[in-house]
Every structure is written in structure tokens, then in C-alpha cells.
């Protein structure tokens, strides 16, 4: 495993839930970590927490990744502080309301696609340029796969690798914050559970720390090169294959 000492890593949505777990794992390994999040209170909380143990090794900033200027400014600030950018982890994402296409409100569709696809696009665009300088839910995730394959194909020979972790159900992330904006369709959540039965948080829920370990694993450039363009399933076999 390559050394992670002073690796420069960005984690979007990194001030809570899975993002924080990933960021914490990299900080513990000696990396320089930059997190952005739309929640100012969460940013303030991790700043206080990490200042005591990782002072000078992190950036924590409130940023809206769906805003191109904000995304670019955040990446620029990372490169300015760390002198480089080695790895981007597009963790930020929100849920829809479990409505099927016939009853999905366009505002929900726009919000989910804006964060899960456009935000990923803008951050990846800014990160790729920074690196070159040296320095509705289901549809959105399929779009991510396409963008990943495209990025892997066009930038692999430049040493920029793109990999997707297909993460299963997690019970302690911040993704449910989206429900504050649009209450879930309880009936359709029930249909979803019927179509994908057997979820048990104790046995099929994926621990945040385990997902973070995959991110650490793919920080090894040789490993990332070997898996460039791949989709890696991390779901404890739920739904059952």
C-alpha cells in the first residue's frame, strides 16, 4: 500500500455521515484533507473537532457544489493551501421522495439531479483541471456511472483515474436530510422494501468506516490504475444477487 502521508484529498459532503468517516480515515493516515458541505453547523463542528488533532492538515468550508463558481473556488483554495490535489471523493448526494416517474415532482427531480449529477460534474471538472495544472435518484446514479466511464477513458493515460463505489444501504448518513425538503412517499417506500426485501441494519447495513477503507485502498495509484473505470459493489450482498 502506498503511503498516504500528505496525500491531498477532497471529500464532498464531508462534514458528517459517510463523508466525515472517509475524511477522518484519511486524516488518521496522515493525509491532507479538504471537506466541503452545505451545512454550516456541520462545518463548524468538524472544524472545532479537527483543529485539536489535525491543525494545519485540513480545510473545512461551506460550499454548494451545484454552483460552478463555488466548486471552482473551493478546488482552487485546496490547491493553494496544499500545493496539489491527488484525489477527489464525490460523496455528496441527496435522496428523492420514493415517487415513481408518474408522480415525481419536477422540483424534486431537478434538486436530485443538480446535486447528484451536476454537482459531481462540476467538482470533477474543477478537480481534473486542478490536477492537470499540478495542483430523481436512480437516474442520477446511472448518470454518474456514465460520467465515470467517460472520465476514466479520457484521462486514464494522464494518470487521472475514476472509480465508482456502489454502496449499499447505510443507516447513519446525512442523505436523509433531503426528506426535510420533500417528505418521502411512505407507500412507495413500502413498495421499494417489498421489491428489495431482507434489509436488517444489524446484518446488511454497510458501516461507514468500511466504505472509508475502500477509499483508502484506492488512494494507492497502482490499485486505482488497475481498477480505472470500474464499479465496485460494497453492499453486503443486499439486495441479494
Asked whether residue 84 is domain-assigned, the answer is yes
Separation between Cα atoms, residue 5 and residue 14, nearest integer Å? 19
Which phi and psi (to 5°) does residue 164 adopt?
-110, 130
Asked whether residue 18 is domain-assigned, the answer is yes
Report the pLDDT value the prediction gives residue 241, as an integer from 0 to 100: 63
CATH of the domain at 111: 3.40.50.720
Helix 17-28 / helix 40-54 crossing angle, nearest 10 deg: 20
In a 10 Å sphere around its CB, with 0-12 CB exposed, 13-18 middle and 19+ buried, how is residue 198 labelled?
exposed
Which residues lie below 8 Å from residue 195, measured CB to CB, with a gap of 6+? Answer: none
Strands 87-89, 58-62: pairing is unpaired
Query: Which letter, b or e, does each residue of 66-87 get, where b requires 16 or more Cβ atoms within 10 Å of its Cβ?
Result: bebebbbebbbebbeebeebbb
Q: Distance of alpha carbon 167 from its chain centroid, rounded? A: 11
The residue segments making up the domain with residue 123 are: 8-234
Asked whether residue 222 is domain-assigned, the answer is yes
Asked whether residue 1 is domain-assigned, the answer is no
Asked whether residue 195 is domain-assigned, the answer is yes
Q: Provide the number of structural domains found in the chain.
A: 1
Answer yes or no: 57 catalytic.
no
Asked whether residue 3 is domain-assigned, the answer is no
Q: Taking all residues of the chain, what is their mean pLDDT, rounded to a whole number?
A: 88
CB 59 within 8 A of CB 12: no
Alpha helices by DSSP H, 63-136: 68-82, 106-113, 120-132
Answer yes or no: 141 catalytic.
yes
Q: Which helix (H) or strand (E) holds 46?
A: helix 40-54
Report the pLDDT value the prediction gives residue 47, as an integer from 0 to 100: 98
What are 179-232's pLDDT values in tens digits? 666 676 777 667 667 767 777 777 778 888 989 999 999 999 999 999 999 999
Report the pLDDT value the prediction gives residue 192, as an integer from 0 to 100: 67
- The residue from 57, 125, 141, 236 that is catalytic is 141
Q: Which of 44-48, 68-72, 105-109, 128-132 has the lowest mean pLDDT?
A: 128-132
User: Quick one: CA torsion of 220, 223, 229, 230, rounded to 10 degrees?
Assistant: -120
- The residue from 20, 137, 161, 218 that is catalytic is 137
Report the pLDDT value the prediction gives residue 167, as an integer from 0 to 100: 86
Please check the confidence at residue 135 and state whether its pLDDT lies above 50: no
Asked whether residue 19 is domain-assigned, the answer is yes
Tell whether omega for the bond before 39 is within 30 degrees of 0, i.e. cis: no
Q: Which of 97, 77, 80 is nearest to 138 (CA)?
A: 97
Report the pLDDT value the prediction gives residue 179, as an integer from 0 to 100: 65
Report the pLDDT value the prediction gives residue 178, as an integer from 0 to 100: 65
Report the pLDDT value the prediction gives residue 67, as an integer from 0 to 100: 97
Separation between Cα atoms, residue 64 and residue 195, nearest integer Å? 34
Asked whether residue 130 is domain-assigned, the answer is yes
Please check the confidence at residue 160 and state whether its pLDDT lies above 90: yes
Higher local confidence (pLDDT), 54 or 169: 54
Amino acid at each position: 500500500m502506498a503511503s498516504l502521508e500528505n496525500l491531498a484529498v477532497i471529500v464532498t459532503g464531508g462534514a458528517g455521515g459517510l463523508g466525515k468517516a472517509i475524511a477522518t480515515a484519511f486524516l488518521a493516515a496522515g493525509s491532507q484533507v479538504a471537506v466541503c458541505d452545505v451545512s454550516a453547523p456541520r462545518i463548524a463542528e468538524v472544524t472545532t473537532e479537527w483543529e485539536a488533532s489535525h491543525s494545519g492538515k485540513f480545510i473545512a468550508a461551506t460550499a454548494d457544489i451545484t454552483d460552478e463558481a463555488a466548486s471552482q473556488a473551493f478546488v482552487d483554495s485546496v490547491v493553494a493551501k496544499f500545493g496539489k490535489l491527488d484525489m477527489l471523493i464525490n460523496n455528496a448526494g441527496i435522496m428523492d421522495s420514493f415517487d415513481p416517474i408518474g408522480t415525481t415532482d419536477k422540483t424534486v427531480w431537478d434538486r436530485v439531479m443538480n446535486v447528484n449529477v451536476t454537482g459531481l460534474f462540476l467538482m470533477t471538472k474543477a478537480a481534473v483541471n486542478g490536477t492537470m495544472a499540478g495542483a430523481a435518484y436512480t437516474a442520477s446514479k446511472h448518470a454518474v456511472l456514465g460520467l465515470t466511464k467517460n472520465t476514466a477513458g479520457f484521462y486514464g493515460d494522464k494518470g487521472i483515474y475514476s472509480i465508482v463505489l456502489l454502496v449499499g444501504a447505510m443507516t447513519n448518513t446525512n442523505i436523509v436530510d433531503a426528506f426535510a425538503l420533500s417528505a418521502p412517499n411512505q407507500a412507495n417506500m413500502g413498495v421499494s422494501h417489498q421489491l428489495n426485501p431482507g434489509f436488517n441494519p444489524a446484518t446488511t447495513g454497510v458501516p461507514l468506516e468500511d466504505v472509508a477503507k475502500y477509499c483508502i485502498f484506492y488512494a494507492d495509484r497502482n490499485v486505482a490504475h488497475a481498477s480505472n473505470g470500474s464499479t465496485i459493489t460494497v453492499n453486503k450482498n443486499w439486495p441479494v444477487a
